[in-house]
Amino acid sequence: MRVIFLGPPGAGKGTQAHFLCNFLQIPHVSTGDRLRQEVQAETELGKQVKEIMAAGLFPADELIIALVKKALLETKEAKGFLLDGFPRTVAQAEALKDASIDIDHVIELEVADEVIIQRLSGRRVHLSSGRIYHVTLNPPKVADIDDMTGEALVHREDDKEAVIRKRLEVYHDKTKPLVHWYQRLASTNKIPVFSKISGEGAVEIVRQRLVQIFAK
* Contacts to ligand AMP by CB under 6 A: 9, 31-32, 35, 52-53, 56-59, 64, 85-88, 92, 158, 167
Catalogue the E-assigned strands of 71-122. Answer: 81-84, 105-110
Angle at alpha carbon of residue 29, lines to 157 and 138, rounded to 5°: 50
> Strand 81-84 and strand 105-110: pairing?
unpaired
Q: How far is the CB of 37 from ligand AMP (least distance, A)?
A: 11
Nearer to ligand AMP, 112 or 142 (CB): 112
46 neighbors 137 (Cβ within 8 angstroms): no
- Among 10, 6, 7, 8, smallest CA distance to 121 is for 10
Distance CA 98, CA 173 (A): 23
Nearer to ligand AMP, 175 or 192 (CB): 175
Catalytic residue annotation: 13, 88, 123, 156, 167
Nearer to ligand AMP, 146 or 208 (CB): 146
List, as one string, the DSSP characters of 117-161: HHHHHTEEEETTTTEEEETTTB--SSTTB-TTT-PBPB--GGGSH
Q: How far is the CB of 216 from ligand AMP (least distance, A)?
A: 27
Residue nearest to ligand AMP (CB): 32
Q: How far is the CB of 58 from ligand AMP (least distance, A)?
A: 4
Distance CA 135, CA 123 (A): 6
Q: How far is the CB of 174 from ligand AMP (least distance, A)?
A: 8
Distance CA 40, CA 127 (A): 9
Nearer to ligand AMP, 172 or 188 (CB): 172
